[in-house]
C-alpha cells in the first residue's frame, strides 16, 4: 500500500504539513521543528537502500562498467545542462534557480528501480546506474552546483561534498555491509528497508512544505515550466542516449527512467541545509518529487503493455 500509492501519501502528508496551523491551531508544529531531522532522514534512507542492495548488483557495476559509466555520465551531464538552460531561458530568480539546480545535479532516485520493474525494463541495469550515481555524488553534485550557481549565490563545494559523503555514500556502504552480515534475512531487510526509505521521503517532503507553507502561493509559473522541461528532457535524453550507447530496449527503458527521475528529496535537503537564507529554494525539488513520480508511473504503465525485446538495441 505504501509503495503502490506513494503519490497519494505524498499529497496527503503534504496537505497535512500545509494546513497544520489551521487544522490543529494551538498545537506544536512538528514540521517547523522537523527541519533538524532532514539530514538524518537522508542518511537513514541511504542506509536502508544499502541494506537492500544485493551483492550481485554491486558486481554488475564492475562487470558492465562501460554501459554503467556511460549512462551515469549522460545523467550528470544532461540534467545539469537542462537545469541551466531552463533556468536562464525563463529568467528564474536566485532562490528558484538554486532549487532547479538541485533537481538537475542530484543522482537518480530509488523509485526509478521500482518503476523500471513495472515498465518491464532491465531492473539490474537500473540499480547499477543508481548505485554508480550515488557513489559518485560527492564529486559530481558539488561540481555541478558550483558551475550552475557560483555566479548567483555563494556555495562551498567542499562542504557539499563532505555532506554527501557523510549522509549518502557512507550510509549506503554501511547499510550494504550490514545487509550482507544478515543476508539470511534478506527478504525481511528488503521489506523493512523499503518502508523506511519511503517513509523518510514522505517526511522530508512534508517538512519542506511545512517550512514554506507561507510561500507556496508565490510560486511562479515559470518554475513549473522549468521542472516539466527538465523532466521531459531527461526522459528524452535517456531514451536517445541509450540508442547512442547501442544498448537493448529494456536497458534503454531503465536509463530513461533513471535520468528523468532524480533524487529530489536529497535536493530538497541540500537546499535547506546550505541555503538557509533562501528557504523557498527547497520548493522546486519537493515539487519535482511529485511530478517525476507521476510522469514516471504513466510512462512505466505505457511501457508495461508494449513489446520489449532485450536481445537487440532496435525497437
> What are the pLDDT digits (tens) for 108-155?
877 787 788 778 888 788 888 888 898 899 999 999 999 998 887 888
**What rounded mean pLDDT belongs to the chain?**
83
Q: Nearest Cα to 105, choosing from 148, 151, 67?
A: 148
Per-residue CA distances from 46 to 42, 94, 268 (Å): 6, 29, 15
Output DSSP code: residue 25: T
What is the rounded distance in angstroms from the CA atom of residue 222 to the CA atom of residue 86? 9
Q: Which three cell numbers stand for residue 12?
A: 496527503
What is the rounded distance in angstroms from the CA atom of residue 220 to the CA atom of residue 93? 10
Q: Which three cell numbers stand for residue 9?
A: 501519501
| Percent over 70 (pLDDT), the chain | 91
Higher pLDDT, 4 or 313: 4
Is the distance from CB of 141 to CB of 101 less than 8 angstroms?
A: no
Q: What's the average model confidence in pLDDT over 200-219?
A: 77
Higher pLDDT, 308 or 226: 226
> What are the pLDDT digits (tens) for 257-290?
999 988 888 888 888 888 877 777 888 888 888 8
H helices present in the chain, as ranges: 6-23, 30-33, 38-52, 55-63, 65-89, 94-105, 111-118, 123-149, 157-164, 170-181, 186-211, 221-244, 249-260, 264-274, 283-304
Q: How confident is the model at residue 314 (pLDDT cuts 50, 70, 90)?
A: very low
CATH class as words, domain 32-303: mainly alpha
What is the rounded distance in angstroms from the CA atom of residue 51 to the CA atom of residue 180? 8
Per-residue CA distances from 55 to 127, 194, 256 (Å): 12, 17, 24
Per-residue CA distances from 160 to 116, 142, 156 (Å): 30, 6, 6
What is the end-to-end Cα distance of the chain in Å, rounded?
34
Domain boundaries, the chain: 32-303
What is the rounded distance in angstroms from the CA atom of residue 154 to the CA atom of residue 64? 39
pLDDT at 177 over 90: no
Q: How confident is the model at residue 312 (pLDDT cuts 50, 70, 90)?
A: very low
Amino acid at each position: 500500500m505504501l509503495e503502490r500509492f506513494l503519490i497519494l501519501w505524498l499529497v496527503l502528508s503534504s496537505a497535512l504539513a500545509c494546513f497544520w496551523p489551521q487544522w490543529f491551531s494551538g498545537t506544536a508544529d512538528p514540521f517547523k521543528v522537523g527541519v533538524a531531522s532532514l539530514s538524518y532522514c537522508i542518511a537513514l534512507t541511504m542506509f536502508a537502500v544499502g541494506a537492500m542492495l544485493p551483492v550481485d548488483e554491486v558486481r554488475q557495476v564492475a562487470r558492465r562498467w562501460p554501459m554503467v559509466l556511460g549512462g551515469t555520465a549522460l545523467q550528470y551531464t544532461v540534467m545539469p545542462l537542462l537545469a541551466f538552460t531552463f533556468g536562464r531561458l525563463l529568467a528564474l530568480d536566485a532562490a528558484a534557480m538554486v532549487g532547479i539546480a538541485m533537481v538537475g545535479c542530484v543522482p537518480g532516485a530509488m523509485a526509478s528501480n521500482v518503476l523500471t520493474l513495472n515498465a518491464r525494463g532491465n531492473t539490474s541495469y537500473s540499480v547499477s546506474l543508481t548505485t554508480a550515481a550515488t557513489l559518485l555524488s560527492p564529486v559530481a553534485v558539488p561540481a555541478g552546483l558550483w558551475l550552475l550557481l557560483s555566479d548567483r549565490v555563494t556555495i562551498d563545494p567542499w562542504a557539499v561534498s563532505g555532506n554527501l559523503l557523510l549522509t549518502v555514500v557512507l550510509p549506503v556502504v554501511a547499510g550494504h555491509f550490514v545487509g550482507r552480515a544478515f543476508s539470511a534475512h534478506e527478504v525481511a531487510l528488503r521489506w523493512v528497508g523499503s518502508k523506511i526509505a519511503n517513509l523518510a521521503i514522505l517526511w522530508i517532503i512534508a517538512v519542506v512544505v511545512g517550512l514554506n507553507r507561507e510561500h507556496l502561493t508565490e510560486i511562479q509559473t515559470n518554475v513549473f515550466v522549468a521542472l516539466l522541461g527538465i523532466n521531459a528532457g531527461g526522459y528524452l535524453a535517456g531514451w536517445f542516449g541509450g540508442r547512442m550507447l547501442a544498448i537493448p530496449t529494456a536497458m534503454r527503458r531503465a536509463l530513461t527512467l533513471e535520468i528523468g527521475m532524480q533524487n529530489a528529496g536529497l535536493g530538497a535537503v541540500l537546499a535547506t541545509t546550505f541555503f538557509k537564507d533562501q528557504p523557498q529554494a527547497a520548493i522546486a525539488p519537493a515539487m519535482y518529487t511529485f511530478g517525476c513520480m507521476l510522469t514516471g508511473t504513466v510512462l512505466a504503465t505505457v511501457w508495461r503493455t508494449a513489446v520489449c525485446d532485450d536481445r537487440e538495441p532496435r525497437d
